[in-house]
Amino acid sequence: MKRIVIFSGSGLSKESGIPTFRDFDGLWQDYDPRELATINALKTNTEKVMDFYNMRRNKMWESFPNAAHQSIIELEKKFEVKVITQNVDNLHERAGSENVLHIHGELSKVRSMIDEELIYSIEEKKDVNLGDLCSKGSQLRPHIVLFGEPVPKIKEAIEIVKTADILIVIGTSLQVYPAAELIEYTKEDCETYIINPEIPSIKKKDNRFFITEKACIGLPKLVHKLLN
Ligand code: NAD
């Protein structure tokens, strides 16, 4: 069975109503990433950072997987499918994808500030606030890779990309490193499809194909083509 690897970014969830970061209507137009999404911000302004992630977690629970998330499940009829996502929402899982690697963390989890193995799931719309503690008595924090923190799952992601026969890169500006480099680890004969209404500036190659459409149009069309 051929293996398809999906590498997704926030553009995939945009049509579910979850804003991206860098688009004209993205989160960074209204919020300053230095105040909310850095390790320094978490240490110096914990409450503000917790509030930002509460807002994003609640938005996630009010949102639903879209046609693009759902079409990935169709691929499992004919391919072995693995998903690597930069998204911190859980829409891949709620669409039914089982094999999902979150390289930038998950909104539906929080963890201890002093023991990163102490992770708690939040399976509903719920705030986690300053003063909410782990079982060892330390403050809980979002289970999110903040700017300035390492990306421990990147090695696993690279190994998965190396095994792809087909790579589908969807809804990412490819501006966040090291994630953006993942597409360079494919086998020589791997076909790469990049779906994005605004194609990111990356090297052109014979086996890289650009689909300038929104996720909900471009991905179901590609899935149809690959299945037939
Ligand atoms: P980004 O904001 O840098 O880029 C979004 C990309 O999506 C752009 O290239 C844009 O052209 C494209 N896009 C916009 N609408 C689209 C659509 N309808 N269909 C397909 N593509 C569309 O986001 P990124 O590249 O994912 O940046 C990575 C960071 O963003 C990650 O750290 C991730 O954690 C974070 N993020 C995640 C979420 C989420 O979980 N849903 C939301 C916002 C940000």
Confidence tier at 134 by pLDDT (50, 70, 90): very high
CATH 3.30.1600.10 fits 19-62+106-144, yes or no: yes
> Ligand 1 pocket, 108 CB below 6 A?
no
102 is catalytic: no
Distance from the alpha carbon of residue 1 to the mean position of ligand 1, in angstroms = 30
How far apart CA 111 and CA 118 sit, in angstroms, is 6
Determine the CATH number of domain 1-17+65-104+150-228. Answer: 3.40.50.1220
pLDDT of residue 223: 98
Domain spans, the chain: 1-17+65-104+150-228, 19-62+106-144
Distance from the alpha carbon of residue 69 to the mean position of ligand 1, in angstroms = 14
Nearest to 102 by CA among 10, 195, 218, 220: 10
Distance from the alpha carbon of residue 187 to the mean position of ligand 1, in angstroms = 25
Taking only the tens place, the pLDDT of each residue in 202-224 is: 988 999 999 999 999 999 999 99
**In what order do the strands lie in the sheet containing 166-170?**
100-102, 80-85, 3-8, 166-170, 191-195, 208-211
Averaged pLDDT score across all residues of the chain = 95
Long-range contact pairs involving 180-189 (C-beta distance under 8 Å, separation at least 24): 182/7, 182/84, 182/154, 182/157, 182/158, 183/7, 185/158, 185/161, 186/161, 186/162, 187/162, 187/163, 189/165
Long-range contact pairs involving 220-224 (C-beta distance under 8 Å, separation at least 24): 220/67, 220/68, 220/71, 222/168, 222/193, 222/195, 223/71, 223/72, 223/74, 223/75
Taking only the tens place, the pLDDT of each residue in 6-30 is: 999 999 999 999 999 888 888 888 8
CB 85 within 8 A of CB 103: yes
